[in-house]
Amino acid sequence: MLSRYSSFRTFSDNAKLGALTSFSAGMVNVISVIVFFAFTGNITGHFAILSQEIAKGNWHQASVTLLWIGLFFIGNFISGLSIIHASQKTGRYFAHAMPILLEIACLIATGFYLSHYYMDTLLETEVLVGVMLFAMGLQNGLTASVSNFAVKTTHLTGLTTDLGVLLSMLIKKEYRKDNRLVQRAQLLFVILVAYVIGGILAGLLHYWIQYNVFHVVSAVLCIVVLYDAYQLGVVKLLILRRPVIRKYISVDPVQTASKVKKTFKVTIRSKASKSNAQMT
């Protein structure tokens, strides 16, 4: 889900990553509206607020809004920096997982602070909204970078536009034969549905567990991180048990796993053919 990069990713990789991250983004955006009365999944509205506050001469509020926009930008920048420049030093999996781990840390810290220390002051709200925008920037930068901009999950404006254009194209039979366009439309629809479901669930959970919703979101994101970690662990176990597999080791644990499976299939087939030859 995280290990494959750019054009090496499959539709399944993008669909799983898009579904889980958009589900968590929908939860974060809705709970932010409930608690802080502010959207944290996108900054389109914040640019409008920035322009409005500058026009009114409200320089303090304008500076706060500009800081929020800057934090979202920094989150995207850090994700791109980790994925593009840190892969060779730390390994692709860790470089791709680091933005998600930072996002989880932000969400856990926010939930903990809200549960134990939050006094509902304006300063606290401004700081926590900034933290949430930074976290969503990390997530958006990660999904866009690893998928070659095919997956963006924290906001739906561009996604709805793309989906509308794609559906208009798919009305014609010749476009329906293009598997790439069909899969693109399916991917966007999965992201859209997952986002809405996440938002609905966050609204319902807030009435039961209050600020612990942030911990639920963190648990969802842990699935994203642990999915490839599990595959990598399985591959390492197979390597220890079967030293012959070492020649198939690659940087990508998913690719390694597929190569290992093919090796086992070839081994089983060769053994079966030998046994059949002996019987005859």
Q: For the chain, what is the largest distance between any 2 Cα atoms, rounded to a whole number of angstroms?
A: 93
The predicted structure's pLDDT at residue 156:
86
The predicted structure's pLDDT at residue 28:
95
| Segment 74-86 mean pLDDT | 88
Q: How far apart are CA 237 and CA 3, in angstroms?
A: 18
Q: How confident is the model at residue 243 (pLDDT cuts 50, 70, 90)?
A: low
**240 has pLDDT over 70:** no
Own/partner contacts of 71-74, CB < 8 Å, gap of 24 or more, are: 71/130, 71/131, 71/133, 71/134, 71/137, 72/43, 72/133, 72/134, 72/136, 72/137, 73/137, 74/134, 74/137
**Cβ atoms of residues 129 and 70 within 8 Å:** no
| Segment 84-113 mean pLDDT | 85
Q: How far apart are CA 69 and CA 133, in angstroms?
A: 8
| Segment 123-149 mean pLDDT | 91
Q: How confident is the model at residue 260 (pLDDT cuts 50, 70, 90)?
A: very low
* Of the candidate ranges 37-41, 114-118, 147-151, the one whose mean pLDDT is the lowest: 147-151
Q: Domain residues of the chain, as ranges?
A: 6-240
Smallest Cα–Cα separation from 21: which of 199, 140, 114? 140
Q: How far apart are CA 42 and CA 135, in angstroms?
A: 11
With residue 63 as reference, give the H or E element that holds it. Answer: helix 59-85
Q: How far apart are CA 128 and CA 121, in angstroms?
A: 11
* Mean pLDDT, all residues of the chain: 83
Q: How confident is the model at residue 266 (pLDDT cuts 50, 70, 90)?
A: very low
pTM: 0.81
CATH class of 6-240: mainly alpha
Q: How far apart are CA 113 and CA 211, in angstroms?
A: 9
